[in-house]
Structure 1
Amino acid sequence: MTRSGGRYQQQMIKSVLGGLVAALVVLPSRLPRRPHVAETVPLTTAVGCLPLGIESRVGCLRTSCRHWNVGTNPADDCNTREEVLISGAVDAPEVGVGCRLTGGR
């Protein structure tokens, strides 16, 4: 075998190996994946897995919420936010003039 023939074989082997490596990298991503199976755990375990963080109200402005409309009863001056606070209260707040809320929780 001549030197040029040996180089040709080496180049051919490198090309074949390179193609095999490329196929091994690309083919697994093309194969269909099994769908994720739902895992059932107790609620306390699931809640325990949630990450904890510090509450941040940065950038939260009431004026940014233009969707707070006049509410279901425009005559009481309560907007949607205030109506939600009233309806979700454990102890109902007092509703003053202009829907000023005091007390409650």
Structure 2
Amino acid sequence: MLRRLAHACLGGLAASVVVVGVGVSPAHAESYSTVSSAIADLPVASESRTGYDRDAFKHWVDADGDGCDTRDEVLIAEADDPVSVGSSCSLSGGRWFSYYDGVSQTSASDLDIDHMVPLAEAWDSGASSWTAAEREAYANDLGDSRSLVAVTAAENRSKSDGDIADWVPGREQCRYLKEFVAVKLRWRLSVDSAEKSAMTSLAGGCSGSITVTRAR
């Protein structure tokens, strides 16, 4: 069973990670002493959704062939109470905490797996030029625990495909910002001017460092 490889640090979920991906080679880790310095390293570029198709990102694959797809792997990894894994990766038991809204769930079916940087936003920010293998690796990134997160379905659908300028959760906004920035850096995605401005404004109230291992 694939495991997401990361360790959380006080003040910001800075993570040291190993890449687990399809057609992607690991790279060196980069550390930023502040949130603002990490944001400053994000390239600014205009965004275009021309040609976007969600199916261009093959997701919820069973990369290791154990019967559990990416969605299942995230649910198993993030469960606060142990999950029993049955045949065909049927899950029972378990309890999950959706940090976007501070709600605990005991039913896996009530949870969505959120791509921290939505697929459409990734496309806009550089993924349109990636290979199919790179997009698949991105959509199933178990190498960094910040890339995919189990949250209540309502929060995920409220977020939709928004970036930081469009949507932030009602709680733990600094954690959310750090994770969003980390994923953008990890995958060498750009930001548009409105997004970078929103990130910079929000970062003023956030402390802690960010460590990222590049996925490409």
Normalising TM by the smaller chain, what interval?
0.3 to 0.5
Structure of greater Rg: 1
Instruction: Please state which structure has a larger fraction of its residues in strand.
Output: 2
Q: Tell me the TM-score normalised to structure 1 length.
A: 0.34
Query: Which gives a bigger RCO, structure 1 or 2 (Cα 8 Å, sep 6+)?
Result: 2
Instruction: Please state which structure has a larger fraction of its residues in helix.
Output: 1
Q: Tell me the TM-score normalised to structure 2 length.
A: 0.17
